[in-house]
Structure 1
Amino acid sequence: MVRADASVSIKVLLNATTADFGFRPTYVRVWLAKQKAVALIYGDWDESYNELPRWVLRVQLTMPGTVAVLRTSPVRVGRQLDESRAYFHRLFWTFPPCIEAFRHCKPLVSIDSTHLYGKYGRTLLVAIAQDGNSNILPVAFALVEGENAESCSLFLSHLRQHATPQPGLLVISDRHNGIKAALEAPDGGWLPPAAYRAFCIRHVVANFALTFKGKDARRLLVNATYAKTEVEFDYWFDILRSEDPAMCDWANRIEYSLWTQHRDEGRRFGHMTTNISECVNLILKGVRNLPVCSLVKATFGRLPELFVRKGREAEAQLRTGQQFSQHLVTCIEANLKTARCFTVTLYDKDNSEFTVAETTPTGSFSLGSYRVSLTSQTCNCGYFQALHFPGVSS
């Protein structure tokens, strides 16, 4: 079962053991047995740490441009340092195709962490990006002891130095103090105007729910955060204030540019959460249960599969000429999700400007009127500015 799926849960293994052999071992015994099975299949847990530096060096020699920064800790025997031995501490790595591909992505990265479930635990930090066709790109990785100020600083400083040097970059993350300290470091390269920060709304709402109970309050806050214009934001915020002024006071303690879409100056591209980071779990399915070297090897092996598959998809789109039409379909679908019925009441062909009235399907109730400029890519509804829909060239 472990060979088929290294992420198989201890509960599933425990139930299978009970069903096949007629006795029910303890959870700890099954956990220990799984670690032994993983070691037999993927290599010894301890030896994996010794193999890692050798494997990283081989990759750097065979794939020039690969960045790998390995940090170790000294071994202490009593009060003396044993210079002949060292413990694994942290590792940052990224590959040349990831660095090159990010140049063609949206100017934002989503930072997230995931816990490892192997014998020695640890935390995997990942930076994720997305291109204009909504393809997910893992940019860089770091294997650290936990999400703290020092480990986040190592990850973000090397991410900035080696993979994402572009100015004006936006970082979307949770409100973890370790990430906050790393982004606010004077010499980290992440302070405005070189870079900007935004909070994952899912985490903001989770923190909000710790103080204020009830799904309606959370829904109102989410609606306010997703509002693309100040008028729409004020509408939802006023309702929230009528429910409980303390809710608004809580939200007002956070700078608006960090959690609202209408004040992000278009930097989010509509990304309000770190959910794109969750997609990487599909690419790295099961590796969180493997020895350290096998985990790093998995990123090396599975990323080429991703690039090859996406490359073939892109070539197919170019051959059939569907790339631009699909872009337009995406934009139309995005508008239809939020609007009921559009009627063009005024059309300025020379300037590619429209006045569009939005109504209910029956046309009995007006939902507003908006001025759309395809040339300047702006609209009163805020969608052009927030989501960067493609314009029309002359």
Structure 2
Amino acid sequence: MDGNQQVLPLAFAIVDEETYPSWKWFLQQLSRYVRRGRRGMCLISDRHGGLIKAVREGPDFASPHGVHRYCLRHVCSNFNSIIKNVVLKDLCWQADSEYQLRKFNRIMEEIKKQSVKAFAYLDQINKEKWTASHDGGWRCGILTTNMSECINGVLKGARRLPVSALVEITLERTVHCFRVQAIKGQKMLQNNQLWTDFACKMFISWQQKAVEHTVTKYSHVQQSASVVTRRQNGHWMNTHVVKIANRECSCGKWNQFGIPCSHAQKVCGAYNISAWLRIIMI
């Protein structure tokens, strides 16, 4: 994914089927030609047995080189195939996609209250793999593999072609996508736009929410503060701790997206610091 939350295709592979040997080979090629010693790569996938085994046996997606995360849509689908309860499936998705640990725990307690079996199923999965609240910022806000499915649209009609024709049309359509994105990038630069459209849109959205917040409990030495939010009906709600130097907020969104959340922007304003310059993704 690029800084505009759009797919940036780097590698394709043609294999006979999804198996452990084919996934192992693909990950080896990915390491050799794409990762090339870089750290910080996050692999998001379904829970295919062959892929999980291949990931476990290789060093590329284990700390400190990178991490492996599960697609939340697949987690919920697998969950529902066993639990078979629409209400619990919705709660599963809420737990998956919640960035705040406090809210995640509350949702999990509700799941446990409704079904011990459902709670036990989710609890046995490594939380770093499937929850936004325990992710540590690796996903950059990407919770599912849905975006990668758009590549299927780009390559529509090519799969049943002979291999040589398949490779040729894949290259042609991928190059076209790169050209389109390059033109967009050039326009941003010509307009002196520092950040991507995605980053700007999210920043402004959170900037509007920051108006309703109040900053309390300053710590000038650590450049941190507590921020109190409130509901639309005027009742005071939650408190979040923002640490500007560490670029983090207890709500989890700054760490996840790299963009100062509404709480962080409020604290930056209190310290007369530009929140725009605290964006850490381009």
With the shorter chain as reference, the TM-score category is: 0.7 to 0.9
Q: 1: distance between equivalents of 2:104 and 2:137?
A: 15
Of the three residues 291, 294, 314, the one matched with 2:165 is 294
Shift of residue 277, structure 1, vs aligned partner: 0.9
Counterpart Cα distance in 1 of 2:207 and 2:79: 29
Alpha-carbon separation, structure 1, partners of 2:10 and 2:158: 17
Question: Shift in Å at residue 218 of structure 1?
Answer: 0.7
1:344 corresponds, among 177, 198, 214, to 214
Unaligned runs of 5+ in 2: 261-274
Deviation at 1:299, TM superposition (A): 1.7
SS, match of residue 11 in structure 2: strand
Distance 1:221 1:197 in 2: 20
Residue 170 (str. 1) matches residue 42 (str. 2): yes
Partner of 1:133: 4
Give the aligned residue type for 1:311.
A
Alignment pair present for 1:279 and 2:145: no
Partner of 2:71: 200
How many percent of aligned residue pairs carry the same amino acid? Answer: 26
1:195, 1:246 → 2: CA distance? Answer: 32
Q: Among residues 56, 78, 87, which one is paired with 1:184 in the alignment?
A: 56
For residue 177 of structure 2, the aligned residue among 297, 306, 316 is: 306
Partner amino acid, structure 2, of 1:221: C
Shift of 1:149: 0.6
Structure with more strand by fraction: 1
Pick the aligned partner of 2:29 from 158, 161, 164.
158
Secondary structure of the residue aligned to 1:143 is coil
Cα 1:334–1:142 shift into 2, 3 Å = farther
AA matched with 1:217? L
Contact 1:208 1:218 in 2 (8 A): yes
**What do the CA deviations read for 1:289-310 (whole angstroms, capped 9, x no partner)?**
3222221111211122112111
Match of 1:377 among 214, 237, 247: 247
Contact 1:358 1:369 in 2 (8 A): yes
- The unaligned stretches of length 5 or more in structure 1 are 1-129
The answer (yes or no) to whether the contact 1:287–1:295 under 8 Å persists in 2 is yes
The answer as to 2:91 corresponding to 1:215 is no
Q: How does 1:86-165 map to 2 (within 5 A)?
A: 130-165=1-36
Higher mean C-alpha deviation, range 286-295 or range 267-276: 286-295
CA distance change for structure 1 residues 283 and 215 in 2, over 3 Å: closer, same or farther?
A: same
Q: CA deviation at 1:233?
A: 1.1
What SS does the aligned partner of 2:12 have? strand
Counterpart selection for 1:360 from 228, 231, 247: 231
Report the secondary structure of 1:139's partner residue: coil
Question: Does 1:332 find its partner at 2:192?
Answer: no
In structure 1, the residue matched to 2:267 is none
| Pairing of 1:57-68 with structure 2 (within 5 A) | none
TM-score (norm 2): 0.83
Q: Matches of 1:340 and 1:219 in 2, distance apart?
A: 29
Note the C-alpha offset of 1:211. 1.3
The number of residue pairs the alignment matches comes to 261
The counterpart of 1:389, out of the listed 240, 259, 262, is 259
Q: Distance in 2 between matches of 1:354 and 1:226?
A: 26
Report the Cα offset of residue 355 of structure 1.
4.1
Alpha-carbon distance change, 334 to 141 in structure 1, aligned in 2, over 3 angstroms: farther
Deviations 1:214-239, CA, capped at 9 Å, x for gaps: 21101111111112232111110000
**Which residue does 1:228 correspond to in 2?**
99
Residue identity in the other structure for 1:386: Q
Q: Deviations over 1:58-97 (max 9, x none)?
A: xxxxxxxxxxxxxxxxxxxxxxxxxxxxxxxxxxxxxxxx
- Work out the CA distance in 2 between the residues paired with 1:320 and 1:356: 34
Letter aligned with residue 180 of structure 1: I
Q: Which residue of 2 aligns with 1:260?
A: 131
Query: For 1:117-156, what per-residue CA distance to the aligned partner results, in whole angstroms no more than 9, with x for missing partners?
Result: xxxxxxxxxxxxx111223111111111110011111111
Secondary structure of residue in 2 paired with 1:279: helix
Residue 325 of structure 1: how far off its partner (Å): 8.0
Letter in 1 for 2:162: P
> What is the alpha-carbon distance in structure 1 between the residues aligned to residue 102 and residue 92 of structure 2?
15
Helix, strand or coil at the partner of 1:231: helix
Indicate conservation of the 8 Å contact 2:3/2:196, yes or no.
Answer: no
Cα distance in 2, alignment partners of residues 344 and 325 from structure 1: 29
Deviates more, 1:325-334 or 1:269-278: 325-334
Offset at 1:359?
A: 2.1
* More contact order relative to length (CA 8 Å, sep ≥ 6): 2
Alpha carbons of 1:208 and 1:335: their partners in 2 closer, same or farther (altered >3 Å)?
Answer: farther
* Equivalent in the alignment of 2:266: none
The amino acid of 2:205's aligned partner reads E
